[in-house]
C-alpha cells in the first residue's frame, strides 16, 4: 500500500510542473517543520505528507537530481513518520518508513553502474532501517538528530 497525501489534481500538477514542484516541496517541508516544532502533529503530517509524495513523484521523473531527491525523501520519511508516531498511529508511521525504504531500494537498483550514487542511496536506506528497527524494538526516541535538506 502506498501512502497518498496529494489530491489527484495536485498530483497531476507535480507531474506537469516538476520545477515548480521542487519549490513546493521545500515550502511544504519548512511549513511542516514549523508545525512539528509547535507539536501540531496533524498539520505537520499534512504538509510533510504532501512534500513526501511530491518528492516521490519527482524521483520517478528526474534522474539528474536523484541525490538531492533521495536525501529529501529520507529526511521527509523520518519527519513524517515521527509526526504520525506522535499522533499514536504507529502503523502509518512504520508504513511511511517501509515505503520510503522500498522507493530507495528501487532507486539503488537503477544505479547499478554508478557505484558512488548507489553507495549514497544505501546510506540513506540504512538510516531508514535504523528507524524501522526502532519500531521493532519499540525504542524510537524523540531526540534523534535529524539533518534536514
pLDDT single digits (tens) 46-88: 999 999 999 999 998 976 567 899 999 999 999 999 999 999 9
**Residues 4-53: tens digit of each pLDDT:** 999 999 999 999 999 999 999 999 999 999 999 999 999 999 999 999 99
Q: What is the pTM of this model?
A: 0.86
Alpha helices in the chain (DSSP H): 8-16, 18-37, 41-61, 66-86, 90-110, 115-137
Furthest C-alpha separation in the chain? 44
Per-residue pLDDT at 144: 40
List the grid coordinates of 5: 497525501
Average pLDDT score, the chain: 88
* 3-state SS assignment for residue 112: coil
In the Cβ-directed half-sphere of 14, how many Cα atoms lie within 13 Å?
23
Q: Among candidates 108, 107, 109, 83, which has minimal Cα distance to 95?
A: 83
Which structural domains are found in the chain, ordered by start? 8-137 (1.25.40)
Amino acid at each position: 500500500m502506498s501512502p497518498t497525501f496529494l489530491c489527484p489534481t495536485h498530483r497531476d500538477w507535480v507531474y506537469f510542473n516538476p520545477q515548480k514542484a521542487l519549490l513546493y516541496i521545500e515550502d511544504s517541508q519548512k511549513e511542516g517543520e514549523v508545525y512539528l516544532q509547535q507539536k501540531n502533529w496533524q498539520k505537520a503530517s499534512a504538509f510533510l505528507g504532501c512534500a513526501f509524495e511530491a518528492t516521490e513523484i519527482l524521483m520517478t521523473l528526474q534522474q539528474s537530481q536523484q541525490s538531492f531527491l533521495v536525501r529529501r525523501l529520507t529526511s521527509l520519511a523520518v519527519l513524517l513518520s515521527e509526526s504520525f508516531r506522535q499522533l499514536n498511529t504507529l502503523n502509518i508511521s512504520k508504513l511511511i518508513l517501509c515505503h520510503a525504504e522500498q522507493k530507495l531500494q528501487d532507486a539503488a537498483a537503477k544505479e547499478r553502474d554508478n557505484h558512488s550514487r548507489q553507495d549514497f542511496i544505501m546510506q540513506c536506506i540504512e538510516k531508514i532501517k535504523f528507524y524501522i528497527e526502532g519500531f521493532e524494538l519499540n525504542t524510537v526516541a524523540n531526540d534523534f538528530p535529524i539533518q534536514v535538506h
